Amino acid sequence: MTTVTARKKKAQISVYLDPDVMTMLADYAARRDQPQSLIAEAAIASFLSPDAAERREAVLTKRLDQIDRRMTRMERDVGIAVETLAVFIKFWLATTPSLPEPAAQAARAKASERYDAFVVALGRRLAKGPKLQQEISEDVTMSPPHNDLSDRHE
């Protein structure tokens, strides 16, 4: 004895779509090699699904978490950059004596050339890497250092 289950006949509706939406539907169906009615049915079912709002919220929450992690990393990287600059400036000011006026004039004349060389060197470093942020472990926290240069040079 063979049991044949009859499929329910699907109801047909007629809808009006914006030309842009129709184009997107046609393109999507063509890329997937699926009938447009199947794509439209799945989209409507997803939209009307009781858990659709929960799924959208889950996707949004996941995306916000990713953004939060990126912002935390950026905050950490900026903190490292600011501290690096501050330590360098303190160290440089503490160890570099002021130049006498004739030498200071010569240094000012050479400053543009030296700055251009710095920019070229920075460009090479950024182009070929590794970047300082890649060299610093993700586990490094922004806790006060034990042996700070400012202790020796203030």
Q: Which among 87, 107, 100 has a CA at the least distance from the CA of 154? A: 87
For residue 130, pLDDT over 80 is answered with no
Residues 77, 133 contacting (CB under 8 angstroms): yes
Name the residue among 148, 137, 130 with its Cα closest to residue 84.
Answer: 148
Domain boundaries, the chain: 19-48, 72-152
What digits encode the pLDDT tens for the residues 34-74? 999 999 999 888 888 878 778 888 899 999 999 999 999 99
pTM of the complete model:
0.46
CA gap 136, 80 in Å, rounded: 10
